[in-house]
Structure 1
């Protein structure tokens, strides 16, 4: 028997998990965000006995994720978690920017209840879609005793929002935890805890209330052979507010790129160094530009946007 506190709310945002193709054999030529979240639930009969509610927050391919959708999603998650009967929230999402959305929600909400993002690498019309299993697993995670924080449930593994990265363009197990620190595994519907549920201090919804078109502009530049810094100079002329440098190795930068970034910093642009490597921190050493720590370039960009929003709120 379900109790009043066992309600799981499913928020749909589109993505491949809701995508369709003309033929079942087409796993790449599909159109994302075609099915509603209710359709996704109907494809998982094993969830029929659970207390569930479904709400469509957005319907887009996650490569097109934007600030205004993040605002609506964060507000929807906050509102649902505030309901005493809600045990947790599941978000269906596209894989392309899933790690960014997860990190934003973690920093803004840091929820005591579980918020579980899930997705799929194959469309719903595929011969062997992975979305139904991932959605089933995500609901199990949201309902697990002690579950908390923002996590990603995908291919039987549960990742911390701060650790998760998409590391493969095609495989159904496309996500990894940057330093191998899995939160849990889902095995035949049972959640086996391996680490700790993520926790943190919430910045609060007020941090992201500014109209989306007025958010700070933060861009990512990459160090590579021949990086000469001209892109940094061009971005300065366009009024960029912050720059994250995806450096090589331990955040290393060519002399020309380093010089251009230092000039930008001197002109008032916030500058951080990250790494284009799949994992590992950037050491904060004397004489070097500030480090983004262990954050990937895309997560460092979100962190910088939130910091700049805080400075001007």
Structure 2
């Protein structure tokens, strides 16, 4: 076991963590009975958490955004990544926590991970139950995230996601339920660890990560995601040439599409990077099991790039980041071979 859950009291104190608030369910309150909307500041979130006195952690708070996570964009997250880099460069910080809505948390955490190269951990958390509901999970998630970010065992692990006392790698975690408090899972790898008695216990060593130079970001590419369905005639592919810079296709099963989509996808792959992922939610895109028209082997031979273990949402984030940094098709192939876990011994 790596990182044996030593209490923070066993280390030099006090530790210091910066909390960046982006909004989301964790920061929402009732809007005159019509539903909840983002309203609480990051400072208010921290003040609502019991247990700070026992944690021995100093918390610095930055109210960065107040948005539902579906309204966050790449520019918001790139700005946050730059803010985090600047704050870590000034020193005096052991880790960072980001609070945001869970709808796009898996994508946001992965984008931050791609551009995070410092040893200090960044821990992303949120809530499935807003503060007006019985059993709201926001305070517990925030405390667990802060304690994980402050702990020396979290260093060198990049961006982590902590919810429901589980610790996940940003590159593997997915939201798999619309409202349950245990909505976040890592289907292929399982969680990296857990939080018990207020401290992280890591069950494995740091994951292999792929990172990019944030200084290389120059463009804002368009990268649509098309999910293939039964009887799909490819209407969503029409007109993408010349309008998109890259494409992610979420194929059925191990990476399969109807035969009518084969020709248009092959044509698109000749003009832009087209990444083939699986819509299933777990398991890698296959490479050479099936050979019929529209199979994974057929599509890869036509120039599509396999996503490996990356799900369609993360494949789109990685492709966007690569193109934003000026990457060509060779760079895309290399990156997905590494980030998708497609290297076999």
Normalising by structure 2, report the TM-score: 0.82
1:299 counterpart residue number: 314
Q: Select the residue among 50, 56, 60 that pairs with 2:63.
A: 56
1:173 counterpart residue number: 182
Work out whether 1:155 is the aligned partner of 2:161: no
Q: Gaps spanning 5+ residues in structure 2: where?
A: 1-8, 289-296, 329-345
Q: Select the residue among 43, 50, 53 that pairs with 1:45.
A: 50
1:278 counterpart residue number: 281
1:31 counterpart residue number: 36
Q: Gaps spanning 5+ residues in structure 1: where?
A: none
Contact 2:123 2:160 in 1 (8 A): yes
Q: After superposition, what is the alpha-carbon deviation per residue over 1:203-258, rounded to whole angstroms, capped at 9, x for unaligned? A: 122133x3xxx511000111111111121113336x11111000001011111122
Contact 2:123 2:148 in 1 (8 A): yes
1:257 counterpart residue number: 261
1:107 counterpart residue number: 114
Q: After superposition, what is the alpha-carbon deviation per residue over 1:120-170, rounded to whole angstroms, capped at 9, x for unaligned? A: 011122222100000010011111222131100000100000110000001
1:311 counterpart residue number: 326
Alpha-carbon separation, structure 1, partners of 2:213 and 2:64: 20
Q: After superposition, what is the alpha-carbon deviation per residue over 1:33-66, rounded to whole angstroms, capped at 9, x for unaligned? A: 2100000001013124521100011110001111
Normalising by structure 1, report the TM-score: 0.90
2:240 counterpart residue number: 235
Work out whether 1:217 is the aligned partner of 2:222: yes
Alpha-carbon separation, structure 2, partners of 1:277 and 1:199: 23
Q: CA deviation at 1:108?
A: 1.1
After superposition, the CA RMSD in angstroms is 2.1
Contact 1:19 1:30 in 2 (8 A): no
Most deviating of 114-123 and 278-287: 278-287
Q: Please state whether the residue corresponding to 2:148 is helix, strand or coil.
A: helix
Contact 2:277 2:308 in 1 (8 A): yes
2:89 counterpart residue number: 82
Alpha-carbon separation, structure 2, partners of 1:234 and 1:12: 39
Contact 1:80 1:89 in 2 (8 A): no
